[in-house]
Structure 1
Amino acid sequence: MDKTTHDKGLDIRKAVLGEAYVENALKTADDFNKPFQDHVTEYCWGAIWGREDLPRKTRSMLNLAMIAVLNRPHELRAHLKGALTNGVTRDEIREIFMQVACYAGMPAGVDSFRIAREVFAELDKT
């Protein structure tokens, strides 16, 4: 593991997903999934999200589309919050999910809109 890339990834991961979310993921890691958590932090967040060629907002928008198409509701919830943190607006999220529905199918769009509305409602309560 490259400690510099890992530490950079940890900083980015916390900035996008929130410190509490990341700390919980790391705190609950065990012998089985700790290597995976380290890999996610170093590779996804450090080596990829840490690249300078795309702004975080753009990366968030791409993630929303890809995660919606892959039907990963837990990750979609986390990345919806991260996208808002990175400056993606609710209007832009709507348009991303319209695009998802068009190109990946209406069921993917329906689920994405439903999950986004739930996340927005949760956030609006706080």
Structure 2
Amino acid sequence: MAANETVSERHLLGIETRRKVLGDAHVDRAEMASTDFDRPFQDLITEAAWGAVWSRPNWTKRERSIVTIALLAALGHDEEVAMHVRATVNTGATREDITEALLHVAIYAGVPAANRAIRTAKQVFDALDAKEVA
């Protein structure tokens, strides 16, 4: 936010929702890495994506998570797929949900897009499983 702007209710709701979905550690890292250059972008996604869309009451966080993973996979955004697969720990989307979403990606957006996303999800699951064992 610019120095002369006040924080809107939607922005505050966005921060709360972003923390619920991605976790405090992720959001804290993003805020610490933010600079004057990208702070306006961080403010935009906090208010628009997290405050205006993810905070809507019509779908559950699980449903939004599934759709988001499918869309990101279809677009080939591997880092974002990984981030949102990690977030399923907080949203309640299951591995079976992700499998079903990626099957849809294969049919509607192409096998290569789904294959990349499956590879990415497997890497995330391997890392999550390793943490559980440790």
Tell me the CA shift for residue 2 of structure 1. 4.9
2:32 alignment partner in structure 1: 27
Unaligned runs of 5+ in 1: none
Q: Is structure 2 residue 62 aligned with structure 1 residue 83?
A: no
2:21 alignment partner in structure 1: 16
In 1, Cα distance between equivalents of 2:24 and 2:89: 15
Q: Is structure 2 residue 122 aligned with structure 1 residue 110?
A: no
Alignment length, in residue pairs?
Answer: 126
Contact 1:5/1:46 (<8 A) preserved: yes
Tell me the CA shift for residue 81 of structure 1. 1.4
Deviations 1:65-113 (A, max 9, x none): 1000111111111111112321111111111111101111110111011
Q: Is structure 2 residue 125 aligned with structure 1 residue 120?
A: yes
Question: What is the TM-score with the length of structure 1 in the denominator?
Answer: 0.95
In 1, Cα distance between equivalents of 2:15 and 2:91: 16
Q: Which of these residues, 57, 68, 72, is aligned with residue 73 of structure 2?
A: 68
In 2, Cα distance between equivalents of 1:116 and 1:81: 9
Percent sequence identity over aligned pairs: 37
Q: Give the CA RMSD over aligned residues.
A: 1.1
In 1, Cα distance between equivalents of 2:100 and 2:55: 26
Unaligned runs of 5+ in 2: 1-5
In 2, Cα distance between equivalents of 1:2 and 1:46: 12
Paired residues for 1:29-48 under 5 Å: 29-48=34-53
